[in-house]
Amino acid sequence: MWKRPSSSSNFSRGLWKLLNTRSMSTSRLDASKLQVKRVAQRSEPKPSDELVFGKTFTDHMLTIEWTMDKGWDAPVIKPYGPISLDPASCVLHYAFELFEGLKAYRTEEGKVVLFRAEKNMERMNKSAARICLPGFDSEELIKLIGKLIEEDKHLVPKGQGYSLYIRPTMLGTTDGLGVGYPDKALLYVITSPVGPYYKTGFKAVRLLATDFATRAWPGGVGDKKLGANYAPCVLPQLQAAEKGYQQNLWLFGSEKYITEVGTMNVFFVFKDPKTGKKELVTAPLDGTILEGVTRDSILTLSRERLDPKEWEINERYYTIYEVAERSKKGELVEAFGSGTAVVVSPIKEIGWQGEDIQVPLLPGEQSGELTKTVASWISAIQYGKEQHDNWSRVVADVN
């Protein structure tokens, strides 16, 4: 069994110190310096049923340039459009690129709220430190994202299942073919009105347990939101699709530990036949697992709301062999993936060694009971029907 590297946090702190040694007295990211250049004419909202995930964008974008010598330049909100890069930019050759994904929701009262944005900013800073890109003040970037949403608040879609997807991105822009840490960077934010990630809606998916390719490994960057983590996973997904499966269930090592599903974290529910007690389990954050905001939300709410006499909530290692064996014994209750884009995605089958492991669903429905419950918990907070520990922050009023 692999263990989380004990030096990972020291490594990140060391990179951060290295990157900022020359810029301790330079300009910090400052939302008060924002400059706004508006479009001549605002776009009209698309009908909700025409929204395809990540295909429609709002009128404006946020850009902020950084240099090692001067620090962060003044933030600019400007009309959405192409960015210019030198052909020798290090992002194009050595993958100095990271991103985040979070959402804003329109409440029934006409407020636009961000969901747990500080968690995304925290993770974004960790990703930046890992690939020698500059850190920033999380609160200042959240303020700027709020200003960006304010400009295009009329494009935030209404209704359950609809939201504004927000994509902060950072690129190393140093031009030159030598390999080294970037002394120039670009941080930009674009936003996209979206509906449900899957056009089929809340529908259970089939997974292919995948040991012929590896998503992440100890000491690597599987816990960071780097673009370089995603492109290599597309071919295995296509190979799974050829066999009739929607996503990969990523396994690791000779033990075949379950790590993630597709680009999401994954949860399983087991039942102890002796005590009748259920266990919600997901892989631990050992440096190979993405520190999902939805994952954290599910764990937090489950620990608060599920009866400890009936439930255990565990972050532990478990294998595809355990899932297969417990399925045969009738101890597998349900399973689901979790992530910002889809929130929760129920699982109904897992292909493994030429057979399909059947994951139970509620009679006549497309999910298990806890999957459905967790989705309703999170949705209620996201759309302002419930409050929870300041997880939601109002950034605009559409009234």
State the pLDDT at residue 2: 41
398 within domain boundaries: no
State the pLDDT at residue 200: 63
Q: Which residue has the higher pLDDT, 198 or 79?
A: 79
Residues 172 and 234 reside in one and the same domain: no
143-161 per-position pLDDT tens digit = 999 999 999 999 999 999 9
3 within domain boundaries: no
Q: Among 353, 375, 327, 359, which residue's Cα sits nearest to residue 204?
A: 359
State the pLDDT at residue 199: 67
Residue 112 pLDDT more than 90? yes
**Mean pLDDT in residue range 332-353:** 96
End-of-domain residue from the set 194, 215, 249: 194
399 within domain boundaries: no
Model confidence band, residue 11 (pLDDT cutoffs 50, 70, 90): very low
Residues 61 and 151 reside in one and the same domain: yes
Model confidence band, residue 355 (pLDDT cutoffs 50, 70, 90): very high
Residues 228 and 183 reside in one and the same domain: no
Residues 290 and 179 reside in one and the same domain: no
Residue 106 pLDDT more than 50? yes
Helix (H, G, I), strand (E, B) or coil at 5: coil
Residues 122 and 26 reside in one and the same domain: yes
Residue 24 pLDDT more than 60? no
Residue 3 pLDDT more than 70? no
State the pLDDT at residue 27: 86
Residues 187 and 44 reside in one and the same domain: yes
383 within domain boundaries: no
State the pLDDT at residue 272: 96
- Which amino acid, 260? E
Crossing angle between the packed helical segments 369-382 and 293-305, to the nearest 10 degrees? 110
388 within domain boundaries: no
Residue 25 pLDDT more than 50? no
Residues 186 and 289 reside in one and the same domain: no
Residues 250 and 347 reside in one and the same domain: yes
CATH number at residue 35: 3.30.470.10
β-strands 205-210, 247-252: how paired? parallel
**Mean pLDDT in residue range 347-375:** 96
Residues 152 and 113 reside in one and the same domain: yes
172 CB-side CA count, 13 A: 30
Q: How far is CA 188 from CA 32, 80, 275, 351, in A?
A: 17, 11, 52, 40
Residues 44 and 110 reside in one and the same domain: yes
Domain count, the chain: 2
Percent of the chain whose predicted confidence (pLDDT) is above 90: 89
End-of-domain residue from the set 194, 226, 256: 194
Range of the domain at 126: 8-194
180 within domain boundaries: yes
Percent of the chain whose predicted confidence (pLDDT) is above 70: 93
Residues 312 and 211 reside in one and the same domain: yes
Contact of 42 with 154, CB cutoff 8 Å: yes
**Mean pLDDT in residue range 231-248:** 97
**Mean pLDDT in residue range 186-203:** 86
302-340 per-position pLDDT tens digit = 999 999 999 999 999 999 999 999 999 999 999 999 999
**Mean pLDDT in residue range 266-295:** 97
Q: Among 267, 170, 285, 169, which residue's Cα sits nearest to residue 216?
A: 285
CATH number at residue 261: 3.20.10.10
Q: How far is CA 97 from CA 14, 170, 309, in A?
A: 19, 6, 45
Residue 9 pLDDT more than 70? no
**Mean pLDDT in residue range 332-355:** 96
Residue 111 pLDDT more than 90? yes
291 within domain boundaries: yes
27-60 per-position pLDDT tens digit = 899 999 999 999 999 999 999 889 989 999 999 9
Residues 16 and 154 reside in one and the same domain: yes
β-strands 257-261, 247-252: how paired? antiparallel
State the pLDDT at residue 22: 42
Contact of 371 with 360, CB cutoff 8 Å: no
374 within domain boundaries: no
Model confidence band, residue 203 (pLDDT cutoffs 50, 70, 90): confident
Residue 1 pLDDT more than 90? no
